[in-house]
Amino acid sequence: MAGTTTTQWEQQRSFDELGRPLRDVTFCVVDLETTGGTPLDGSMITEIGAVKVRGGEVLGEFQTLVNPHTAIPPFIAVLTGITNGMVADAPPITAALPAFLEFAAGSVLVAHNAKFDVGFLRHFAQQQDIPWPGFEVLDTVKVARRVVTRDEAPNHKLSSLARVFRSGTTPNHRALADARATVDVLHGMMERLGGLGVHTLEELQTYSSKVAAAQRRKRHLADRLPHAPGVYMFCDERSRVLYVGTSKDLRRRVRSYFTASETRSRIGEMVQIAASVTGITCATALEAEVRELRLIAEHKPSYNRRSRHPEKMTFLKLTREPWPRLSLVNRVLDDDADYVGPFSSRGAAESCLAALHEVFPIRQCSGRLGKRPSRSACVLAEMGRCLSPCDGSADSDTYAAVVRQLRDALLRDPDDVVEIVNEKMTTLAEQERFEEAGVQRDRLASFVRAAARSQRLTSLTRCPEVVAARREDDGRWTVHVVRYGRLAAAGVIPPGALATAYVDQLRASAETVLPAVGPVPAATAEESERILRWLEQPGVRLVEVDGEWTCPVAGAGREARRFA
């Protein structure tokens, strides 16, 4: 593919790929004192304390008592030292909360047992019709559970952790003092984890002590990868590909495998085996997705679960012979037959086949029949489910008319199948034969999904070339050249470049793609579907279309939405 200019992709970058360095993050560590355990039972805030820090330095502090306009329970007064008299002249929460939110604006909220503190703050913001700013939240309790062992502290209470990290402030159930102690705990945990390669907010949020030390030592494998979008491949000592993935920042994403919590046990096992990581930069998100699919299909990595065997496909074939029939096949031939698919599984194909046989009484026997067959009728003929051409019961014109209706249902209009199967479902449901109605529903779903998929793919893959562009969030244009459903080139128009000249150059350097047979002639179904999803996005503009890119108005797509 042509074009490798890095651009900001359309999708919002995920946290694990942004990788904000901890030294650059502004944290607002907050603590509350309240009259009870939850605002839902009428408990109120009596004090707010907060410390804003960045890069280990204190930027500011916030502290205020809050008049709860209700009596403070005696045991709370004893615990915190906050009495009714102390809060009598304090501002109400309607004044204290906006002041705190202004202080905390633009920071990451940190709290010890954040669910409690943030829950109170959100509750009163909602009560005052104040839009919640959407803070990111870091809970020091959750981090401590991954960092501090039982040998170091009997529990993960703030007082216990303050002793472990030698906090300069002793927690005393007053908001500002407890916030200061939480700052010391946060910095202590960050210092400890820094030696283990945890240097970003995202790595801190996802850190797990379950990641083995040997696994952490392999983080150097990411050092030579660029901070650029693309595809990465983990390989073993014999250069065999173990796993293929995509990322918007290759270096940060790969590094996260060695420093962050990996809940997939197979991937953790893969990382331990890996000896090298190779990165391939890509111009666009779509190019990266396509490259990933092709690399998985080529190398069949043992640790990728999907897309490894695109060659294992099942199609539904309507044969071309004197007495046509439906057949399940594994490949498409240049035999002028009609094909629908590929199906996601053999079972889905069989279900679709059953739905069509429910509606169209064509023969289900295998083998070819001559123009004047003289076989014995089968059981299906006796049941009225087959026109029985084998014993001469059906004339060729009647049979051909049924086949034309079947072909039309497959390629253009599924209404006949939908209507008849829906009637059967309704009848079965009225008879309380719900399991049988469910079988009919599943068969109908398999049919309309397959027909819709085939119609959408064929509409694209019969076009010799489609050139499309989309303006991204950074103002630049991504361009893709698609030939017979295959991505032939991808690029980003450089700032100041003449768009038409760039597109012409991209087309000239694009991969040559030859036409083939079938609904997916030049690429896997999954690749063509990824391309279709991109083409159908808002904002995509067609630059050039060679051929006719159309889909039947009455096609199966409108019915398939019912089963999405």
Return the active site residues: 173
The strand pair at 26-34 and 108-111 is best described as: parallel
Beta bridge partners of 51: 29, 61
Q: Do 459 and 552 contact (CB within 8 A), yes or no?
A: no
Q: Is 123 within 8 Å of 34 (Cβ atoms)?
A: no
- The answer to whether the CB of 53 falls within 8 A of the CB of 183 is yes
Residues 6+ apart with CB under 8 A from 528: 457, 460, 461, 485, 486, 520
Distance CA 15, CA 252 (A): 10
Q: What angle do CA 275, 277, 282 make, to 5 degrees?
A: 170
C-alpha 69/C-alpha 93 separation (Å) is: 10
* Pairing state between β 137-139 and 108-111: parallel
Whether the upstream peptide bond of residue 342 has omega within 30° of 0, thus cis, is: yes
Phi then psi for residue 165, to 5 deg, are -100, 15
Q: Considering only CA atoms, which of 114, 60, 69, 74 is closest in space to residue 89?
A: 69
Long-range contacts: 212-219, Cβ < 8 Å, 24+? 212/272, 214/272, 215/258, 215/268, 215/271, 215/272, 216/258, 216/259, 217/258, 218/258, 218/271, 218/274, 219/255, 219/258, 219/259
For residue 398, how many other CB atoms are within 10 A of its CB? 12
- The C-alpha atoms of residue 284 and residue 3 are separated, in whole angstroms, by 9
User: Looking at the chain, how many residues does it have?
Assistant: 564
For residue 400, how many other CB atoms are within 10 A of its CB?
Answer: 14
Structure tokens at 160: 């216990």
